[in-house]
A and B are shown apart, each in its own frame.
Chain A
Amino acid sequence: MSDALDRAPLLAPGQSLAGVTDHVSDIVLKRPTGRLWLAAFALSLALTGLLATGIVWLLMRGVGIWGLDMPVAWAFAIANYVWWIAIGMAGTFISAALYLTRQDWRSPLTRYAETMTVFAVSVSGLFPILHLGRPWFFYWLAPYPDRMNVWPQWRSSLLWDFFAIVAYLIVSLLYWYVSMIPDLATLRDRAATRGRQVFYGLLALGWRGEARHWKRFETLSLLLAALAVPLVFSVHSMVALDFSEGLLPGWHSSIFPPFFVAGALFSGFAMAMVLGLPLRHWFQLGDFITPRHIDNLAKMMLAAGLFVDYSYLMETFTAFYGMDRYDVAMTMQRFSGAYAWVFWTTIGCNVVAIQALWWQRVRANRAALFGISVLVLIGMWFERFMLIVSSLYHDFLPSSWGMFYPTFWDIAFLAGSIGLFFLLFLLFVRVLPIVSMSDMRKLVHRLQEPRP
Chain B
Amino acid sequence: MGQVFHPRFGLYVQLVLLAVLVSLVCGALVWRASTAEPHGVDEPVEQPVPFSHKHHVGDDGIDCRYCHSSVETSAFAGIPPLSTCMTCHSQLYTDTAALKPVVDSWRHGVALHWQRVHQLPDFVYFNHSIHVAKGVGCVTCHGRVDRMPLTWRARPLSMQWCLDCHRAPQQYLRPRNKVFDMAWQAKDQAALGMALVKRYHVDTRRLSDCSVCHR
Determine direct contact between A and B, CB below 8 Å: yes
Q: What is A's interface to B at a CB cutoff of 8 Å? A: 146-150, 188-189, 197-198, 201-202, 206
Quick one: CB contact mask for B141-180 with A, threshold 8 Å, 1 for yes?
A: 0000000000000001011100100000000000000000
Residue of A whose beta carbon sits closest to that of B210: A150
Chain B residues positioned under 8 Å from A147 (CB to CB): 156, 158-160
Q: Which residues of B contact A (CB under 8 A)?
A: 1, 4-5, 13, 156, 158-160, 163
Within 8 Å by CB of B4, from A146, A148, A149, A188, lies A188
| A189 pairs with B160, CB closer than 8 A | no
Compute how far the CA of A150 lies from the CA of B210 in the bound complex, rounded to whole angstroms.
11
Q: How far is the CB of A408 from chain B (nearest CB, A)?
A: 34
Q: Are the C-beta atoms of B160 and A149 separated by less than 8 Å?
A: yes
A147 to B120, CA, bound (A): 14
A112 to B176, CA, bound (A): 74
Q: Are B160 and A148 in contact (CB under 8 A)?
A: yes
Q: How far is the CA of A197 from the CA of B3 in the complex (A)?
A: 10
Could you tell me if A149 and B159 are in contact, using CB atoms closer than 8 angstroms?
yes
State the CA gap A149–B213 with chains docked (Å).
14
Nearest-neighbour CB distance to chain A for B120, whole angstroms, equals 13
A149-B163 Cα distance, complex, nearest whole Å = 8
> For A150, what are the chain B residues with a Cβ–Cβ distance below 8 Å?
159
**B13, closest chain A residue (CB):** A202
Q: List 7 A-B contacts (CB under 8 A).
A: A147-B158, A147-B159, A147-B160, A148-B160, A188-B4, A201-B4, A202-B13
Report A285 CB to chain B, min CB distance, Å. Answer: 27
Whole-angstrom distance from the CB of A30 to the nearest CB of chain B? 16
Find the A residue at minimum CB distance from B208.
A149
- Minimum CB–CB distance for A181 against chain B, Å: 15
Contact B1 A148 (CB under 8 A): no
Q: Which of B4, B156, B160 contacts A198 (CB 8 A)?
A: B4
Judging by beta carbons under 8 Å apart, are A201 and B5 in contact? Answer: yes
A24 and B159 alpha carbons, distance in the complex (Å): 59
B163 neighbours in A (Cβ, 8 Å): 149
Closest A residue to B156 by beta carbon equals A147
Alpha-carbon distance A188/B158, docked complex (angstroms): 54
Complex: how many Å from CA A233 to CA B156? 46
* Chain B residue contacts of A149, Cβ below 8 A: 159-160, 163
Residue of B nearest to A199 (CB): B4
- Interface-central residue, A146, A149, A189, A202, by most chain B CB under 10 Å: A149
Question: How far apart are B32's CB and chain A's nearest CB, in angstroms?
Answer: 10
If A147-B159, A149-B160, A202-B13 touch, does A189 touch B5 (CB 8 Å cutoff)?
no
Choice from A148, A189, A197, A198 contacting B158 with Cβ under 8 Å = A148
Q: Is the CB of A189 within 8 A of B1?
A: yes
B55 CB, nearest partner CB in chain A, Å:
34
Determine the chain B residues whose CB is within 8 A of the CB of A197 once the complex forms.
1, 4
